[in-house]
Amino acid sequence: MLHLRIIVPADRSTAVADLLAADPGVAHLAVLPGAARQPAGDLILCDVVRESADGVLRQLQELGVEAHGGVSADDVELTLSAAAEQAARAAPGHADDAVVWDEIAAKTGEQTELSGTYLVLLVVATMLAGIGVLLDQPILIVGAMVVGPEFGPLAALCVALLRRRPRIIVRSVQALVVGFLTAIVVTILSTWGLTAADLVGRDMLLADRPLTDFIWRPDALSWVVGLLAGVAGMLSLTSKKSGSLVGVLISVTTVPAAANVAVALAYGVWHEAAGSALQLLINLCAIVLAGLLTLVVQQTWWWRVARRSPGPGRAGRR
């Protein structure tokens, strides 16, 4: 369930309370007249099952609550209530399948910021993967995949494309392009530094690397893996299955491919740099395509489920 805290002007409070009371997916409704001070108005509290949350939030926006007051939502980890159980039974569909579009948009929108932390994580991940490539060590490659933060902008790009948000699209692409270019440049410099310190060498890149040479040899399976990872990643994001997301992060060679580009460029091995760059492009495109298609299917499916629901909290197309 989601716990909603709603601040609404007094002249709209009755309409909002009536809307919530009429929705079968809402429980524990409380109205505190005049409790809000900034902005001034009434404070309305309630719990809503995830299956009904998207429709409820949409209707609150239609009533102007977002413009004249405010809505905040938190996950409810534990609820001991017969009323909550009744709301879950009355709501359409299943909670694990429900998509709260405003929640997803807010979550992914935060991932488009080209922050220092994002750049540092991507640089560190690429440097780790670069060392893993030279040492032919899958353990380092997997560690770099987990550290890499690139799935955030990729997910944001999928959501922005679906919801037609040009500003978020530009920010997501910017975060990916600037992030990977910065990581590649820094990894080239670090490779030169490690070479000067006689810790690594060009011969390590040219040697047989049976455990990691797939990184720069893209094939048809690269598309398949990228598409599957895009589907799993988007489902883990929309259904809050974080454990699945970790599995996605270690299944796609985005960061390792960027690292192999950097190491190959540092040593002038152009064919390997080109193969790695193609691998990176294939994976990024496959993830975005699969993620977008997954969102379209989820939206269409949930729209049909909501149409069969008699309650006022039907979720419309977003």
Which residues are CB-neighbours of 294 under 8 A, at least 6 positions away?
158, 230, 231, 234, 235
> Terminus-to-terminus CA distance in the chain, angstroms?
21
Residue 152's pLDDT is: 86
How deeply is 27 buried, as exposed, middle or buried, from its count of CB atoms within 10 A (0-12, 13-18, 19+)?
buried
SS3 126: helix
The domain ranges of the chain are 2-91, 104-303
- β-partners of residue 2 are 48, 75
Determine the Cα–Cα distance for residues 121 and 307; give it in Å rounded to an integer. Answer: 43
Rounded to whole angstroms, the Cα distance separating 232 from 249 reads: 10
pTM over 0.75: yes
Determine the Cα angle at 5 with ends 156 and 18, to 5°.
110
Percent of the chain that is helix, strand, coil (3-state, to 5): 70, 10, 20
Report the alpha-carbon angle 177-181-278, nearest 5.
80
Q: Could you read off the pLDDT tens digit of each residue along the chain, which spans 318 residues?
A: 899 999 999 999 999 999 999 998 899 999 999 999 989 999 999 999 988 888 899 899 988 898 889 999 988 888 888 988 888 888 776 766 677 878 887 777 777 778 889 999 999 999 999 999 999 998 888 888 888 888 889 988 999 998 888 998 999 999 999 999 999 999 999 999 999 999 999 999 999 888 888 888 888 888 998 898 888 888 888 776 555 455 556 556 789 999 999 999 999 999 999 999 999 999 999 999 999 999 999 888 777 766 665 554 444 434
Instruction: Tell me the residue type at 87.
Output: A
Selection from 297, 301, 231, 239 nearest residue 99 by Cα: 239
Q: Does domain 2-91 have CATH number 3.60.15.10?
A: no
